[in-house]
Amino acid sequence: MLKTLSAEDIDLVRPHLEPVALEQEASLFESYEPIKHVYFFESGLSSEVVVASKSIEVGCIGNDGCSGVPVLLGVDSSPHKAFMQAGGKALRIASPDLVGLMDDSRTLRELLLRYAHVFMIQIAATALADGRYGVEQRLARWLLMCQDRLGDELPLTHDFLAVMLGVRRPSVTDALHKLEGNLAIKAERALITVRDRRILEETAGDSYGIPEAEYRRLISHR
């Protein structure tokens, strides 16, 4: 997302960015604790999760955006937590520094608020998928979202997918077997390889695509 900034905004932000390597399951922020940094991802995949007796993912972020969306909205903590689903590299900035830069640059503020809007659309799409679609469709949608951010090889376990979808592990296993039988994916231990994106898109149906189109409309094609 930083590549969409103007040269002036890049010069403004660059001195405050710190490169970091983030391992799988590394915490980005915890529930109701101060969000100390915002991370702009160069690789890897993060997950934002509702913390409850049965936690469930509500959104994921890769090199399309940044973690710590509450900070962009002037909020210093969240009931949710965020961590890395797949390790990667990021450029992080202290939250107070980013808030100050948003005050200094109208164009930077506009871009980051556009991204906050897109992320809220993704959360709404997740709620719709969880309420209206079956496990196989929801899994196909989630794999498409991961592929958008990671490429064809997804380092994901059945247990991890179960947490992300808020279902029991056997339900995930059954859905993976169906997608593998349709030749959409190849599932191995801790690795899922996308073989045919078209089949995944057909399976996901209209549970996938609205947040992605909004991102293209507001950010990547500005």
Give 138-191 as a 3 state SS string. Answer: HHHHHHHHHHHHHCCEECCCHHHHHHHHCCCHHHHHHHHHHHHHCCCEEEECCE
Same domain? For 25 and 101 the reply is: yes
Cβ of 211: how many Cβ atoms within 10 Å? 21
Same domain? For 19 and 119 the reply is: yes
Same domain? For 14 and 91 the reply is: yes
Number of domains the chain contains: 2
Same domain? For 93 and 149 the reply is: no
Which CATH number fits the domain that encloses residue 36?
2.60.120.10
Same domain? For 48 and 106 the reply is: yes
**pLDDT by residue (tens digit) across 150-171?**
999 999 888 888 878 888 889 9
Which CATH number fits the domain that encloses residue 147?
1.10.10.10
**pLDDT by residue (tens digit) across 35-69?**
999 999 999 999 999 887 777 889 999 999 999 99
Same domain? For 12 and 120 the reply is: yes
Same domain? For 105 and 141 the reply is: no
pLDDT of residue 221: 65
CB 63 within 8 A of CB 122: no
pTM exceeding 0.95: no
Query: Mean of the per-residue pLDDT values for the chain?
Result: 94
Same domain? For 115 and 149 the reply is: no
Mean pLDDT of 101-123: 97
Same domain? For 89 and 154 the reply is: no
pLDDT of residue 164: 80
**pLDDT by residue (tens digit) across 166-181?**
888 899 989 999 999 9
In whole angstroms, give the CA distance from residue 93 to residue 100.
11
Long-range contacts of 156-160 (CB under 8 A, 24+ apart): 156/85, 156/86, 156/190, 156/191, 156/192, 157/189, 157/190, 160/85
Same domain? For 28 and 89 the reply is: yes
In this structure, of 29-33, 94-98, 146-150, 162-166, the range with the lowest mean pLDDT score is: 162-166
Same domain? For 28 and 115 the reply is: yes
Which residue range forms the structural domain that includes residue 33? 2-129+214-220
pLDDT of residue 54: 76
Same domain? For 78 and 172 the reply is: no
